């Protein structure tokens, strides 16, 4: 009798537990916020550690569905195929993409959907596909894992370059340069008064230059006036030179006329005057030899031997 009571209790308990499980499954399947879901596929080319079935799917941080299944792609085992159940009222368009995000520091990963534009058409399955495929982009961790090796290599190259630059000889040169800088600084400090006076003089010079630059337009006006006066003077000198040239041409013509007309007559007159002077000289000599010639006249010349 005792064993029959135990089996009856166990049977009742199993029936009640089964009914409770069916009720929970029915409630989860029908009472999920009263939503209808559309199925989408996402192919991820990275590690999905931390992502599990029933992990949330968010759109710009708002929960819009859940991950229905996670499998390797049979055609390419490097890809992980995610099957997403997204609310039917969520506008998944051709500009929507999926990215894996980590929630806090717990390591829990969820799928985050984002859209690039607002006017793209809704995403639909293409020919030969059962579900629409949402393109994926690498997560922040994936990007860091890709960039970090490059950064590490750059840092190593930089450190080796720094080590080459800071060798013993260069360190000694830097030390000497620092000593020279210290010496120059001390010299500047010792001669600060002279530098101050120099700066004051420089300020005065700059002030004079500023004043001169302010007077520069006036100086240019005066220079322009002077240039105009010089141009007028050069014009007058040009006219004067032309007049002088004309006068010289007239004088040259007069000289030519004088040479051609007056000089021949003057030469002939001088020739006659020379002959007359010669005659007067001869007459003077004869009078000196025989003054009586003025009274009796000139005697006939005596005949030579043999003349009659």
For the ranges 58-67, 154-163, 228-237, 274-283, the maximum mean pLDDT occurs at 58-67
Is the pLDDT at 300 greater than 60? The verdict is no
Give the chain's mean pLDDT. Answer: 80
pLDDT at 156: 79
Residues recorded for the chain: 308
Residues forming beta bridges with residue 39, ordered by sequence position: 85
What is the pTM for the complete model shown? 0.42
- The highest-confidence range among 10-24, 53-67, 104-118, 240-254, by mean pLDDT, is 53-67
State the pairing for strand pair 56-59/108-115.
Answer: parallel
- Sorted by where each begins, the domain ranges of the chain are 35-144
Nearest to 36 by CA among 83, 88, 91, 84: 88
Q: Are 104 and 65 in contact (CB under 8 A)?
A: no
């Amino acid at each position: 009798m005792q064993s029959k009571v135990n089996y009856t209790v166990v049977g009742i308990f199993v029936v009640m537990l089964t009914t409770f499980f069916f009720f929970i499954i029915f409630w989860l399947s029908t009472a999920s916020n009263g939503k209808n879901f559309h199925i989408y596929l996402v192919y991820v080319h990275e590690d999905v550690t931390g992502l599990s079935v029933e992990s949330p799917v968010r759109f710009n941080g708002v929960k819009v569905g859940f991950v229905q299944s996670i499998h390797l792609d049979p055609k390419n085992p490097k890809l992980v195929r995610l099957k997403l159940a997204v609310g039917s009222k969520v506008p998944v368009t051709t500009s929507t993409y999926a990215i894996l995000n980590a929630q806090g520091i717990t390591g829990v990963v969820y799928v985050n959907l984002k859209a690039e534009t607002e006017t793209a058409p809704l995403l639909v399955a293409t020919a030969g596909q059962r579900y629409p495929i949402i393109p994926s982009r690498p997560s922040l961790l994936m990007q860091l894992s890709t960039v970090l090796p490059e950064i590490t290599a750059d840092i190593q190259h930089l450190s080796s370059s720094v080590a080459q630059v800071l060798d013993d000889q260069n360190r000694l040169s830097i030390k000497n340069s620092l000593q020279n800088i210290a010496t120059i600084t001390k010299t500047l400090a010792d001669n600060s008064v002279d530098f101050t006076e120099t700066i004051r003089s420089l300020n005065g010079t700059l002030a004079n230059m500023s004043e001169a630059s302010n007077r520069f337009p006036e100086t240019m006006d005066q220079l322009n006036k002077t240039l105009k006066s010089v141009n007028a003077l050069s014009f007058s000198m040009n006219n004067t030179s032309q007049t002088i040239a004309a006068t010289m041409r007239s004088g040259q013509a007069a000289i030519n006329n004088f040479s051609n007309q007056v000089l021949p007559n003057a030469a002939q007159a001088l020739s006659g005057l020379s002959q007359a002077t010669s005659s007067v000289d001869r007459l003077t000599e004869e009078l000196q030899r025989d003054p009586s010639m003025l009274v009796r006249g000139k005697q006939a010349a005596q005949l030579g031997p043999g003349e009659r």
